[in-house]
């Protein structure tokens, strides 16, 4: 078995767990390819110099390993996806900090989870991805998002206007601070924080959620994920901010954006005793009431 390790920096609370992770991989003779900046962090800060087969620093250098271990939070998981891309390599999210929906293996669960993964006792979830296209290329060479695309006003004063079309038919003009187009995976992320609905991961839909809309009658909308969305922006300053997951860039207001469901999915490793419903109860505290 060969795995790739991707990560960023983390706090001292995870130092011992990180040693535990690499000790287990070495004990099981699992070959390791590691993200070079993360390896340097381990050597300098964690006092850990694991034995590895090689390094990668770009998506092109990532070999076709059996799995990618993402060590960090959900933001780190999203960055790991930009390396995995459409290869189909399953991603394991190991949480080195607090709350995590994608990085859902906590440090306390790590020993049991490693044993289950090594024995093949896990499920693989296929997560849908957004694809963004535009006549003006502005987001780099990976124009995909696992969670959401968000467009925002650039300054702190005036709103922007987002004209939205579904399969080239006009839907609505949103006067707001911005707009989010989210996958079911992203329904528990940014979209949720501004009042969007939670969607089951198996739902075949996209969520359109305005950010602080000027009209009280405007509400989030769920549309089928086989539809193509077109966004046309107006802004006084002539620019707006576009974000694909954790990657943001300032864009000219004349730039038109088209969004569709991508032709590939991201494969996420999930423990067999974990489910979407247990995540809602444990991480969103559904049903929690101190009176009970």
pLDDT tens-digit map of 207-252: 999 999 998 889 999 999 999 999 999 998 899 999 999 899 999 9
Bin 238: left if φ > 0, else alpha if -120 < ψ < 50, else beta.
left
DSSP of 193-248, one letter per residue?
HTTPPP--TT--EEEEEEES-S-TT---EEEETTSPEEEEEE-TTSEEEEEETTEE
> Hey, what are 291's tokens?
């009176």
Pairing verdict, β 205-211 and 221-224: antiparallel
Query: What pLDDT is stored for residue 280 in this prediction?
Result: 85
- Report how far Cα 272 is from the mean position of its chain's Cα atoms: 21
d(CA 159, CA 153) in angstroms, rounded, equals 6
pLDDT tens-digit map of 111-166: 999 999 999 999 999 999 999 998 877 777 899 999 999 999 987 778 999 999 99
Domain pair 2-120 / 129-264, same fold: no
* Residue extents of the structural domains in the chain: 2-120, 129-264
Pick the CATH number of 129-264 from 2.40.110.10, 2.60.200.30, 1.10.357.10, 3.30.720.200: 2.60.200.30
> Of the given ranges (18-22, 172-176, 185-189, 269-273), which has the lowest mean pLDDT?
269-273
Where in the sequence numbering do the catalytic residues fall? 74
Query: What pLDDT is stored for residue 91 in this prediction?
Result: 98
pLDDT tens-digit map of 240-268: 999 999 899 999 999 999 999 999 999 99
* Dihedral over Cα of 289, 187, 66, 58: its sign: negative
Q: What CATH number does the domain located at 2-120 have?
A: 3.40.50.10330
Residue 290 above 80 pLDDT?
A: no
Which 8-state DSSP code applies to residue 42? I
pLDDT tens-digit map of 66-103: 999 999 999 999 999 999 999 999 999 999 977 788 99
């Amino acid at each position: 078995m060969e795995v790739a390790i991707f990560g960023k920096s983390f706090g001292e609370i995870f130092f011992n767990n990180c040693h535990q992770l690499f000790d287990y991989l070495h004990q099981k003779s699992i070959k390791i390819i590691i993200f070079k900046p993360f390896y340097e962090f381990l050597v300098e800060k964690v006092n850990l110099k694991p034995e590895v087969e090689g390094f990668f620093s770009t998506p092109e250098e990532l070999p076709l390993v059996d799995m990618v271990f993402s060590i960090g939070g959900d933001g780190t998981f999203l960055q790991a996806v930009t390396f995995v891309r459409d290869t189909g390599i399953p991603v394991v999210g190991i949480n080195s900090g607090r709350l995590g929906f994608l990085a859902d293996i906590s440090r306390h669960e790590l020993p049991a989870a490693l044993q289950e993964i090594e024995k093949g006792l896990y499920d693989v979830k296929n997560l849908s991805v957004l694809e963004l296209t535009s006549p003006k290329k502005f987001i780099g060479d990976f124009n995909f998002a696992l969670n959401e695309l968000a467009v925002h006003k650039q300054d702190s004063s005036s709103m922007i206007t987002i004209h939205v079309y579904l399969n080239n038919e006009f839907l609505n003009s949103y006067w707001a601070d911005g707009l989010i187009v989210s996958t079911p995976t992203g329904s528990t992320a940014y979209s949720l924080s501004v009042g969007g609905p939670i969607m089951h991961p198996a739902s075949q839909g996209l969520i359109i959620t305005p950010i602080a809309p000027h009209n009280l009658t405007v509400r989030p909308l769920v549309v089928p994920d086989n539809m193509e969305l077109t966004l046309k922006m107006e802004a006084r300053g002539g620019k707006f901010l576009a974000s694909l997951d954790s990657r943001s860039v300032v864009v000219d207001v004349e730039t038109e954006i088209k969004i569709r469901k991508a032709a590939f999915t991201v494969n996420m490793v999930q423990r067999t005793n974990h489910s979407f419903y247990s995540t809602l109860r444990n991480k969103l505290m559904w049903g929690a009431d101190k009176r009970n």
